[in-house]
Each structure stands twice: as structure tokens, then as C-alpha cells.
Structure 1
Amino acid sequence: MSLKADYALQRKNLIGSFLESENITFKSLIKIKSDASHRKYYRIQNKKLLLMDADPRTNEKLTSFVKIDKILLNYGLTAPKIYKKDILNGLMLLEDFGEDTFSKILNKKNEKIMYKNALEVLSVLDNKGKTAPTIKGLKKYTINEQLKETSLFFEWYLREHLGKKLDKDSILSFELNLKKLYKKICTKNRTLVLRDFHVDNLIRRADKKIGLIDFQDALLGSSSYDLSSIVEDVRRPISRELKDMLIKYFHKLTKEDLEKLKIEIAYFSIQRNMKIIGIFSRLKYRDNKPRYMKYIPNAKNFIRNHLEKQELRILKDWFEANRINV
């Protein structure tokens, strides 16, 4: 037996033992189509439960998931209850919110109310950021973390996909420009930022509440980041009219300065979509998952539109100087 096959058998036996105490058999598991992560999910027949299989070799963050889950529940939001966990071996039994993700059920008739419901969730996080005690042990979404993410654009999209390698001075110039903008634009680092707040990770439960999943990468930052993620989602771009309405609605809910919101959304959209382009390129070339490349034109459209803003002119100049078309 090969080492790979031997490990797979050990893993299966481990999962079997984990499930056995709950009277759950392998026959009752229905595999759910996986996303871009390494985690595997199984729906358990006749029980409102999911099995999360996060193999420790993939460095999935179960400890962080448990911590953020508890915070969200304490905030009164709808995160899955954890019924059983084995952190060391990367296994959990979670509450199953069902299959009605926003990506499946959004349409022109319901999108306005559903997006507003999503923003009401973000407004809770924004309000808690202003009023609740600082969350101990949670890192901030710093400019250095953001630069690590944008480096994926240079490594996997420019170099791997386009065959274009930038010199160190060009990358350093970009980093200095982004740091300058971040310092000027983003003055808040107090809100729990989920960082994957998009249509695949929002589920409308039977009771109409918005279920949250895939939040283990949450950090403290600006609420504008998650707002940017949902109103400029590469998986489902929305009309300019709807986006403007939603930004104004979030402003109404949170009393955040409207013009500041708009420029922060623009900044985070550029940064986030550079990261997304890099991640989707990596999924193709490293992980043999090319299906996400179809979203890159949407990400590039968001970047291109925001580069026209005067406040972000230095980034447009940088893209043009380095002959990078978006």
C-alpha cells in the first residue's frame, strides 16, 4: 500500500470513530460540492448536521473557526452551532443551514431585500465594533497582510498566467503606493471583518435568517471591506443602481460617513480583487481548478472602474507605467 493510500485509510478510520459515537455511518454521508478551499463537507441524511473534514495537513484554521463562531453567536448573528469537534484531527459536526445559498436563490425579484438583509448583518458587526470591547487575541487586518495578498497577483496572475515578471523596484513602488493610500483612507480597524462575505457564503435559512459560513479568516478591520465584498462580488455583479442603493442603505444603518464609505469601498475593491485574481490563477495552475478563471474579467472590471477615481490616481499611474492592462 502506498503512503497516500495508507494515510487515506487512516483518515477514513479516524472519521469513522468520530462519527460512531453519534450513531452516524458513512452510508448517511452525502458529499457537498467543494469550494476553493481544501475543506470537505458532508451532509448527514435525516439530521440537520454537516461533517466538516479539514485535514490538518492543509493548514485549515479550525481553532479560528471555533473562536469566530462563538463571537458571532454572542453578537446574536446566525453562525452554525458546533455539536462536536476534534480540533487536533480537523473534524467537526456543525448545524446544517440547508442549501439555499444566495448564489442559488438570488434573482431580480428578491435581490433588493436579500442584499439589504445581508447588509443588516454587516451593520451589527459595525455597531459592535463601535460599542463592544475589543476582541482579545484577534489580529488586525493590517497593510502588511493586505500586501501579502496582493503579492498573489504578481506571482500567480502576472508571472504564472501572463508570463510577465515585474522587477523588485516595480513591486516596491506598488507597495509604497498602497501603504500611502491605506494610511490616508482607512482609519478604522475596530470591526470584525469576515473577509469572505459573498454570495456563496450566505445562506437563507428556513426561518429567513441569514446563515454565515466560512469565516475562519476573520480579522479586525474596516466594515467597508465586507461591504465591498458583497456589493462588488465577482460571482454575481449587480447593477450600478442597486449597488448605490445598498451603499446608501448601509450608511443609513451605521451612520458611517457616506463619502468615506465610497472611497474605502474603492480601495478595498482594488486590493481584494487583485488578491482574487491571484488566488483564482493559483487554483488553476497549482490546484488544477481552472473553473474560477471565468470570474477574472469581473474582478478586472471592478479594479478598472475604481482606478478612475482621483483619490486612487497613483495606482492607475502605476498600472499604466508597468503596462498592466485591467
Structure 2
Amino acid sequence: MYGALDLGTNNCRLLLARPSRRGFQVVDAFSRIIRLGEGVSQTGRLSDLAMNRTLDALRVCAGKLHRHHVSRTRLVATQACRVAANGSSFVDKVKNIFDLDIEILTPKTEAHLAVAGCATLIDPTADYVLVFDIGGGSSEIVWLDLTRLGSRRDVWTGRSDVNDAIVAWESLPVGVVTLAEHFGGREVTQATFAAMSKAVTELLLPFEAKHRFRELMAGKPVHFLGTSGTVTTIAGVMLGLERYDRKRVDGIWLNVGDIDDVTSKLLGQSYEERISEPCIGRERADLVLAGCAILDAILKLWPADRLRVADRGLREGILMQLMMEDGVWRAGRRRRGRSKRSNGAEQS
């Protein structure tokens, strides 16, 4: 049994799974909004209230790991623990209380794991892929050149590491929590939204100036893939879901026109009206427009007609990496190969 924990700025997520022939089968999962990074952009520290909320969630995670006798795990924390002065001491506290060894990821490792987690949704006919993960405290931007891979379809089976196709990446020090805290997330006017988008664009411009991806995109098949609560929320609102349904959202394609329509709809709503949206609710109502502004900046800098939505990310990337390290799919192919040779010998 394998386990992956993603302790983010806004969410605490756990995924437990067993290998299957084409990936893995989920055995148990847990997700809770804990807002660990609340106020960190102002104070530089994790607050007692946020840490207590997080400890409550981690208590549930520890129970699941113990109950399922998970043998292989990777437990990680991201931006909030990276930047907070007391991030490391909080991780030590978690170790003392629950015996959970949480690793604070570097931005580069976080970006690579996010890509690995959604690799099976990448269009193998594209030459270039832009993967973006709009988080709570940071946003990861990753460009891939699939022509660098021997066989593009091998990334779906664990035979190739999709990270071999990465040509550039950037971790922006801004996410939905930090942007909403800076500009305000409850009452967002058109002017506030434009200011949010502009602030993100200014962070993206040095990355674009260095790599000139706008020129690279000209006339080439490019696939945009978004993995975050922002794009899954937009998809849920667009579909008019009465309750969020991962099966209907994960892998769906969004036209940019649909994204603009949902953003305009949310901008026209009050905070209370956004709360009443089934796929937003009270926990995301003050963050969703900050996420839309980050997405707006990305799509204005690198125009696209559509993008694919991934309701997956770090946890799935961790599980895929652990299973690849253990050679679970290589062993399966060897067994199938021996079976074919054996059957051939019996028939001759």
C-alpha cells in the first residue's frame, strides 16, 4: 500500500492506493481546507489557529495511514511551511505528535511532482505543453517539450518520466490565499480583478522574457493543462453541477470563452452569492476570484483556445514516483512476457 500527503497553504490532502496494471487504484482519500498559510504573507509565521486546524486534519490522516497499514509513503509540505519562520518547527511538532515525517518540498520538486501527477492527461500529439498549478501560496508554471521523449505515450504507462520533457519551470510566490489577502477576496470589483491580474503578469514577464515561449507557440501544437482548485471550480460552475463531481470534471476541456463567461459571472456576484454556488461554498468564496485572476494572467500572456482540467496533482505524482521507483510496472511487464513465452512453448 502506498500513501501520499500534500500539506498545502490552503488544503491538507491524503491519498492511499495500490498499484494497478495502468496506474493505481485508490483505496482511501481525505481532503480538508485548513488554510495553514492564513496570514503568513503579513506576519511571516504560521498562526496558532491555523496550526491547530492543520493538526486536527493530520490526526485524521495519521489514523488512515495506521489503519490501512501503509508501507510506502511520502508526506510533503509546500509554500506555507517553506516561507514561514516557524514552518520547520511545525513539521517537527507533527513528527513528535503523530510520528509523521513531513518533507518541506523545494519549488522545483513541487513543480516536477505536479507534472508527474497529471501526465496521463497530456495530449501526446502536442509538441509543447504548459502545465500550471495555481496553489494557495505559490503557483507553478512548467513548460514541456514532448519531442524530447523517445515515445510520448510511454508517460502513460510509467515507462518514461514525463519530467524528462521539462525545458523550463517557474514557481511564482503568489497563490489564491496570498493574492486574496493582499487585494481582498470578498468584494472584488472589475478594477480589483484587473489589478490582481496585472500583479501576476508582472511576476510572469521575466520568465517569458528569458524563454520567449510566445514565439515558440507560433504555429505549433500546444496543450494547456491546469491542475488546481481554480480550474476545477470553474469547470464545476460551467457545468452547473449541484454538487462537485470529480468524475465529470477531471479531464474535461474548457474553452477560453467558457472560462471568461464563468469569471464574468463570478465578478458580477456578491460574496454571499458566490457562497451559494455549490462548487464554491463558504470555504472558497473569498479565494476563487484571486485564482481566476492568476489564470487570466497566464492566458493573456500565452493565449490559447482551450485547456484541459486536471483534478489531480502532487499526491498522484508522488504515488506514481514511488511506484516507478519500486518497478511495479516493470515487474508486471516481465511477468506478462514470461507468460507469453511459456504459452508459446506449450503450443509448439
Normalising to structure 1: TM-score of the pair?
0.32
> With CA pairs under 8 Å and 6+ residues apart, which has the higher RCO, 1 or 2?
2
Normalising to structure 2: TM-score of the pair?
0.31
Structure richer in strand, relative to its length: 2
